[in-house]
Homo-oligomer: A and B are copies of this chain.
Amino acid sequence: MPAAAADAIAAVCRADRFDIAEIGVAAEASGNPVTPLVQALRAAVEEPTAQWVHFATTTQDVLDTALMLLAVRAGEPLLQCLRVAADACAELADRHRDTLAVARTLGQQAVPTTFGLKATTWLSGLDAAGRRLQDVLRRRAAVQLGGAAGTLAGYGTAGPAVMSALARGLGLCDPGLPWHTDRQRVLEIADAVAAIGPAAAKIATDVVSMASSEVDELREGGDHRGGSSVMPNKGNPVHCVLIRAGAMQMPGLVATLHHAAVHENERAAGAWHAEWESLRSLISLAGGVADRGSRLVADLDVDPARMRANLEASGGEVMAEALVQRLRPLLGHDGSSNAVQRCLADARQRGVTFREAVAADEQVRSVLEAADVDEVFEPRNWLGSAPEFIDRALLAHEQAWP
């Protein structure tokens, strides 16, 4: 191919020269937008240059490579949003490493924890999703070049060299061989993009729960305030709602892409075409949840006093595990369980707190001093390795983002 022809073609390869809507309409007849685009490109140069347009390549080479470029380019702001969100989580984890809060399992208050540790879980999810996407884009986003059916016949034996040069030119991986009907790369990228959904939705779901009127420990901040169209009293968690909505639409798209990953013979009659919109929607939704996730966490209002109040609202019941463990060597497994159950029942019956019932229980007091009871009911004594886990997550976070 003469260098002058290449230069002439490159000179007209400018998006603003082409009417995308017109190409879109024409795509209907050929079943893809490349055919009309190639025609328009050929018309934009003259013979004999025109014969070198789309030389020895095929529609799928163009579209597959374009999808990969799109994934890599969209991946940059997406990863940036994830990183901002993760940094904000790290900040929360560090700042609230001593902020007592109650852990909730299956909707029920369980045991003490810290808000810092809650934020650590958010952090580790975001870091894992971010690391995975970085890694997969770096390793797997490759040019596709196979020609009509994967032999690159039109290039003689120069195919691999052209493939390498194209990869260098576009900043994508050189796949070594065509992958037009082996969609493992597409799957690996799609799966990694999709994993951003749950990482962000975990945070949004926790915030919806913790921002509910009855819990009221967190509130969305920032300059928006999710007003209701009719209820002026409300401050709706808009970021959370839209993150959850976005994340909820992603698994269906992942499933579509897994179905569409079976490409028969040398070009799939439908499965390939089903990838286009699905992968773009998936990336777009991931971008939305990552962007909103970064703003949600960065602007989050935290109410440590309310966290403390909620922790104390059970009258000490959330310390039951601590009490059982303290009593077990003294009363045995069954003895300690029975004692705790008796105190729980006693508290409910007499309308006193669990802690009061424990302090008044003869069997318990036969083995524990008042100071021991105080010690057991101090949440700070029952945080285990929470601070250590926070340190570890912060260290891992520093290493996750090069």
- Within A240-283, the residues touching B (CB, 8 Å) are 240-256, 258-274, 277-278
| In the complex, A300 has a CB within 8 A of chain B | no
A332 at the interface (CB under 8 A from B): yes
Whether B213 and A107, one on each chain, are in contact in the complex, defined by CB atoms closer than 8 angstroms, is: yes
Minimum distance in angstroms from A126 CB to a CB of chain B: 9
Q: Which residues of B contact A124 (CB under 8 A)?
A: 177, 179, 182, 184
A197 to B255 Cα, complex, angstroms: 12
Whether A325 and B56, one on each chain, are in contact in the complex, defined by CB atoms closer than 8 angstroms, is: yes
Q: In chain A, residues 104-147, which have Cβ atoms closer than 8 Å to a Cβ of chain B?
A: 104-113, 117-118, 120-121, 124-125, 128-129, 132, 147
14 new A-B pairs (CB below 8 Å) besides A105-B149, A243-B270?
Answer: A48-B329, A104-B212, A105-B266, A110-B231, A111-B149, A147-B384, A150-B386, A154-B230, A201-B262, A209-B264, A214-B310, A230-B324, A231-B321, A252-B253
A318 on interface, CB distance cutoff 8 Å: yes
For residue A133, give the distance in angstroms from its CB to the closest CB of chain B: 11
Contacts A270-B243, A278-B249; A110 near B384 (Cβ below 8 A): no
A232 contacts B324, C-beta separation under 8 Å: yes
User: A363 an interface residue at 8 Å Cβ cutoff?
Assistant: no
Interface flags for A377-390 (1: CB within 8 Å of B; 0: not) read: 00000111110110
| Chain A 146-165 interface mask (CB, 8 Å, partner B; 1/0) | 01111111111101100000
Q: Which one of B48, B191, B212, B241 lies within 8 Å of A332 (CB-CB)?
A: B48
Contact B384 A270 (CB under 8 A): no
User: What chain B residues lie within 8 Å of A59 (beta carbons)?
Assistant: 228-230
A-B contact list, 24 entries, CB within 8 Å: A38-B229, A54-B230, A102-B213, A106-B226, A107-B269, A108-B237, A109-B214, A109-B233, A124-B179, A129-B184, A132-B184, A151-B384, A154-B384, A155-B384, A176-B392, A194-B258, A206-B265, A213-B313, A214-B215, A230-B324, A231-B321, A240-B270, A244-B274, A252-B253
**Is A393 located at the chain interface by the 8 A CB criterion?**
yes
Report how far A206 CA is from B269 CA in the complex, Å: 12
Contact digits for A188-216, partner B, Cβ 8 Å, 1 yes 0 no: 10010011011101101110110111110
State which of B125, B208, B246, B255 has its C-beta within 8 Å of the C-beta of A269.
B208
Q: A209-B265, A213-B107, A273-B242 are in contact. Are A232 and B392 (CB under 8 A)?
A: no
Give complex CA distance A320, B148 in Å. 11
| Contact in complex: B388, A159 (CB < 8 Å) | yes
Contacts of A153 in B (CB 8 A): 111-112, 321-322, 382-384
Give per-residue flags for A297-327: 1 if the beta carbon is below 8 A from chain B beta carbons, else 0: 0000000000000100110011011101100
How far apart are A205's CB and chain B's nearest CB, in angstroms? 5
Q: Which single residue of chain B is at the shortest CB-CB distance from A328?
A: B51
Shortest CB distance A120–B (Å)? 7
Question: In the complex, how many angstroms separate the beta carbon of A297 from the nearest chain B beta carbon?
Answer: 15
Q: Does A50 contact B (CB under 8 A)?
A: yes
Contacts A50-B333, A181-B202: A209 and B107 contacting too (C-beta < 8 A)? yes
Please, which residue of chain B has its CB at the minimum distance from the CB of A246? B274
Given contacts A184-B132, A232-B320, contact A106 B237 (CB under 8 A): yes
Assembled-state Cα–Cα distance A328/B267 (Å): 25
The minimal Cβ–Cβ distance linking A155 to chain B, given in whole angstroms, is: 6
Complex Cα distance, B322 from A195, in Å, reads 44
Looking across the interface, which residue of chain B has its beta carbon closest to that of A125? B182
Q: Measured between C-beta atoms, what is the minimum distance from A197 to chain B in Å?
A: 7
The answer to whether A247 touches B262 (Cβ under 8 A) is: yes
Residue numbers in B under 8 Å from A156 (CB-CB): 384
A99 within 8 A of B: no
Shortest A144–chain B CB gap in Å is 13
